[in-house]
Amino acid sequence: MNFLVFVKQVPDTETKIQIAGDGKSIVEDGVNFIVSPYDEIAIEEALLRKEALGGEITVATMGPNRGEAALRTALAMGCDKAVHLEDGAFEGADSFATAKALAAVVKKLNPDLVFFGKQGVGTDNTQVGQMVAEMAGFGHIGMCVKLEVDGDKIKGEREIEGGRETVEVSLPAVVVAQKGLNEPRYPALRGIMQAKRKPIEKLTVADLGLSADEVGAAGSRTEFASLELPPAREAGKKLEVEPEVAAKEIVAFLKNEAKAL
């Protein structure tokens, strides 16, 4: 079976956000970039499926040169080869323009099963996996927390409000990984050494058969007009009192300030 996993490189979740001079992006100097945590879950699921069924896993990312580090991490975890969509024309893409480019990768590689993370942390869109599924004409399982491959179809559970639902989709299909699906492994030293020799293919807009105005900022349907730090939250009263007094204070707060009682 042919597996394809999409990963996005994102700022470490601990990053202290500073707004750049243009007023719409963040300062990247000194920021540590990681594979988006949900994408690690997507990689792990592909690895588990390959271990059970055999086949090959391609990992792909769209992004600047530093994105190569994310691909090396995925290769060190056990993916077989990598594709890097690196071209100035891809820059500034929103979800729609990103999905356009990634859907072209799906078309080119013709995989049976495609994995995405639930969201690229940072922009927190939760869109690209579902959009690519639509553009590729595939069914998908969103927010997947349990997966079974059964011949030419997959069956998976997804979290919904107050419970779970089981979805069945025929292959080829997209799976969007949610936390709970598995516990991603850490790359072992041997994996890290091997990753250095695994191939990374670079693809440009032209290689994907797309034109520059379909991708990147030009192909985007939305744009950031500005980025601001949220107003700082003021800390309110802090009390160290007897439990009974504290309880009364909480109830009074719920009644008078929050108007929740």
Partner 1 sequence: MILVFAEQRDGVLKKASKEAVSEGKRLSSKLSVPVAALLMGKGADQAVDEVKKFGPDKVFVMEGASLDQYSADGFAEATANVAKEQGATVILFPATTMGVDVSPRVAARVEAGLVSDITGLDVADGKLVAIKPVYSGKALATVKFKSDIQMVTLRSNVFPLEENSSAPEVTKVDAAGISPKGMVVSTELKEGGKVELGEAAIIVSGGRGLKGPENFPLIEEVARLLGGAVGASRAAVDAGWIEHSHQVGQTGKVVSPVVYIACGISGAIQHIAGMGSSKFIIAINKDEDAPIFNIASLGIVGDLFKIIPALTEELKKLA
Amino acid at 107: K
Q: Is-contact 175 156, C-beta < 8 A?
A: yes
- Chain positions 145 to 174 lying near ligand AMP, rule: CB under 6 A, are none
Q: Which does 6 bind (CB under 5 to 8 A by kind): partner 1, ligand AMP, ligand FAD, none?
A: ligand AMP
Closer Cβ to ligand FAD, 120 or 216, answer by number = 120
**Interaction between residue 98 and partner 1 (CB under 8 A):** no
C-alpha separations of 54 from 47, 51, 118, 152, 194 in Å: 10, 6, 25, 15, 19
Q: What are the Cα distances from residue 60, in Å, to 68, 69, 123, 217? A: 10, 12, 19, 20
Positions 78 through 137 that interact with ligand AMP (CB under 6 A): 95, 98, 102, 116-117, 119-120, 123, 125-129
Q: Which is nearer to ligand FAD, 64 or 122 (CB)?
A: 122
* Integer Cα distance of 37 and 229 in angstroms: 23
Token pair of 256, please?
Answer: 């008078």
Nearest to 224 by CA among 53, 1, 26: 26
Crossing angle (nearest 10°) for helices 128-136 and 95-109: 50
Report the residue number, 137 or 180, with the smaller CB distance to ligand FAD.
Answer: 180
How far is the C-alpha of 259 from the C-alpha of 71, rounded, in Å?
Answer: 50
Nearest to 2 by CA among 58, 41, 85: 58
Check binding of 215 to partner 1 (CB under 8 A).
Answer: no
Check residue 13 for interaction with ligand FAD (CB under 6 A).
Answer: yes
Binding span for ligand AMP by CB under 6 A among 1-9, 13-21, 183-191, 247-255? 1-9
Select from 43, 89, 128, 203 the one that contacts partner 1 (CB under 8 A): 128
Site for partner 1 in 3-32 (CB under 8 A): 11, 13-17, 19, 24, 26
CA dihedral over 121, 140, 221, 209, signed as positive or negative: positive
Name the residue nearer to ligand AMP (CB basis): 50 or 84. Answer: 84
CA angle 101, 47, 70 (to 5 degrees): 50
Q: Which does 143 bind (CB under 5 to 8 A by kind): partner 1, ligand FAD, ligand AMP, none?
A: partner 1
**Which of residues 8 and 50 has its CB atom nearest to ligand AMP in the complex?**
8
Q: Does 191 bind ligand FAD (CB under 6 A)?
A: no
Decide if 179 contacts 41 (C-beta within 8 A): yes
**Residue ranges that bind ligand AMP, judged by CB under 6 A:** 6-8, 36, 38-39, 42, 61-63, 95, 98, 102, 116-117, 119-120, 123, 125-129
